[in-house]
Amino acid sequence: MSSERTQKIEALRDLHKPTNFDAWVCLGGDYRDQAEVQEWASSSEAQELSLAYTAFRKKIKDTATQPEEALHDNECYWCEDTEGVTLVKSYQLYGCRECASECGSDN
């Protein structure tokens, strides 16, 4: 898989934060669900997907439990600014103060 495609898939997964293996694997574009992985993927590829999904869920969990100060490293979803970025709870997206206030955020 090309590194550009890999990065695009990772960005989609980070943006959409799939909640189950089927949704996660669909964002990779190679299979539709776990049944298709089991039917068509080699056992080593299925194992790699499973391990990658476990790592992804851990990453999402770790991100969700970071202290507020650690959230400032993220980009604003709307303007891509990196200054003063926090989680806009009403949208479940990261936004800068200016964009968040324009959106009527509860942040």
Whether residues 76 and 90 share a domain: the answer is yes
Residue 91 lies in a domain: yes
Whether residues 54 and 90 share a domain: the answer is no
Whether residues 55 and 74 share a domain: the answer is no
List the domain range (segments joined by +) for residue 89: 68-102
How many C-beta atoms surround the C-beta of residue 107 within 10 A? 16
Q: Are 81 and 75 spatial neighbours (Cβ–Cβ below 8 Å)?
A: yes
CB contact set of 90 (below 8 Å; sequence gap of 6+) = 103, 104, 105, 106, 107
Whether residues 14 and 59 share a domain: the answer is yes
φ, ψ of residue 95 in degrees (nearest 5): -145, 155
CA–CA gap between residue 70 and residue 62 (Å, rounded): 11
Whether residues 56 and 74 share a domain: the answer is no
Tens-place pLDDT, residues 44-57 = 999 999 999 999 88
Tens-place pLDDT, residues 2-60 = 889 989 999 999 888 888 899 999 999 889 999 999 999 999 999 999 999 999 888 88
